[in-house]
Copies of this chain bind each other. A is one copy, B any other.
Amino acid sequence: MIQWKLWIIKSKEVFGDDKMAGIKDVAKLAGVGVGTVSRALNKTGYVSEETKKKIELAMKELQYTPNELARNLYHKKTGIIAVLVPDIAYSFFSDLVRAIESDLYEYGFKTMVCSTFKTKNYEREYLDMLDRHMVDGIITGVHSLDIENYLKTDKPVVSFDRYLGKDIPVVGVNHWKGGTMAAERLIEAGCTHVIQFQGSKAVNSPAHDRHTAFARRMENAKIPVMTYELEWNRFDADYFQQVAEEVFFKNPEIDGVFGADLMAVSYMKTALTQGKRIPEDLKIVAYDGTLLTTNIYPEVTAIVQPIETLSKKCTELIVKKIEGGNGEEEGLKDIRIMVDVFLREGGTT
C-alpha cells in the first residue's frame, strides 16, 4: 500500500524562497510576455533589438545563468509539453486540460493534448515521441495498465492521480477525505440503502481511496452499501446511461447514490424520468463537481476537485523539472502533492 503524506503544499514550501529564477521572472522584469522571452532564448521567432536588450538586462539582474541558456539550447527544447488524458471530451479532463494549457502558456510553453482512449499503445507512442525530443515533458493523467514504460524514460514527467514510481511526482486530491465527506453527507441526509459507482480496480489509482473511505464510513454507520465496479476506460455517455438504467430497475430500494459526475447525473436523469423526486426519494452526491453538476436543475451536491489548484501544481512541477534538468534537483524526488477537496451543496441532498 502506498503511504500518502498529507502535504498541503504552497509553492514556497516545495521550492523554497531562493527558487532559481525562471523564464517567468525574466519576463516580468523585462516587461514582456514569457512567450517573447522564450522566442528570444530559443531563437524561435522574431524579437526586436530593443526587446532583446531588455531581456538580457533582466537575465543579468536575476542571475539567470548563461549555463542554463546553453543547456536549453543544447537539450534542443521544443517549448512543447504533452498532456495525456484518457478522454478529452470527459468533462473533468477537458476542464483540467484547459487550466493546464492556460498555466503552461504563462510559463511560455505550448501544450499538445492527447486523448489516449483509443488504445494503450497511444500512450507508449507518446513516450517514444518524448524520447525523440519532440516534447520537453509530459503531464500524464492516463490510467493505462502498463507503468513499465514510464520507469524506462529519464525525461520530465509529472503524474496526475497515478503512482508511477518514486522519480515521478504525483499530484492529486485527498480522495480519502473526499470519500468520507460524501458518505457523511448521505448519512446526514438519512439514506438507508446506498450505492457507489467505482472505477475499475485493475488500475492502481489513488482515486480508489474515496471508495474505500466511503464504504468504511457507511459501515461505521451500519448502512448497507453496494459497490458497482465500472468497466475500465469507458467514458462514453451511453455506457453510463446503460449502467444507470440497469441498476435503477434492479434496485428500487436505493435512496442514496455516490459516483463521478457523469455517472451521478446519468442516474439522476433515469430516476427523474421514472418519476422519482430528488432529493425526497433519492439523494445524490457527485465527485469532481464539473459543469455537469452545476448547469442542471436541481444542481447536484458534489465533492469538488479544485481544478485550478491541481493545474497550478502540475504545471509548476513540470516546468521545474524541465528547467532544472530533470532529476538534478533533490527536491523533486518522492513528491506526492495532495490537494484539498471541499463539498459544494446542491439540491440533491
Contacts and interface: CB of A to CB of B under 8 A. Distances in A.
Given A35-B125, A129-B110, A273-B297, A89 B94 contact: yes
A247 to B, nearest CB: 16
Contact of A118 (B87, B94, B105): B105
A272 B272 CA distance: 14
Interface residues of A, number: 47
Nearest to A299: B269
Contact of A113 (B91, B112, B122): B112
A276 to B, nearest CB: 10
Nearest to A113: B113
A262 interface: yes
Nearest to A90: B94
A88 B101 contact: yes
Nearest to A237: B291
5 contacts: A101-B118, A102-B118, A112-B112, A237-B295, A296-B296
A121 B115 CA distance: 25
A291 B94 CA distance: 14
Nearest to A269: B297
A28 to B, nearest CB: 17
Contacts of A291: 237, 292
B295 A265 contact: yes
Interface in A106-138: 110-115, 117-118, 121-122, 125-126, 128-129, 132, 134
Instruction: Give the interface centre of A88, A129, A266 by most chain B CB atoms within 10 Å.
Output: A88
Closest 3 CB pairs of A and B: A113-B113, A272-B297, A112-B112
Nearest to A98: B89
Interface in A84-98: 87-89, 91, 94-95, 97-98
Contacts of A88: 88, 94, 97-98, 101, 113
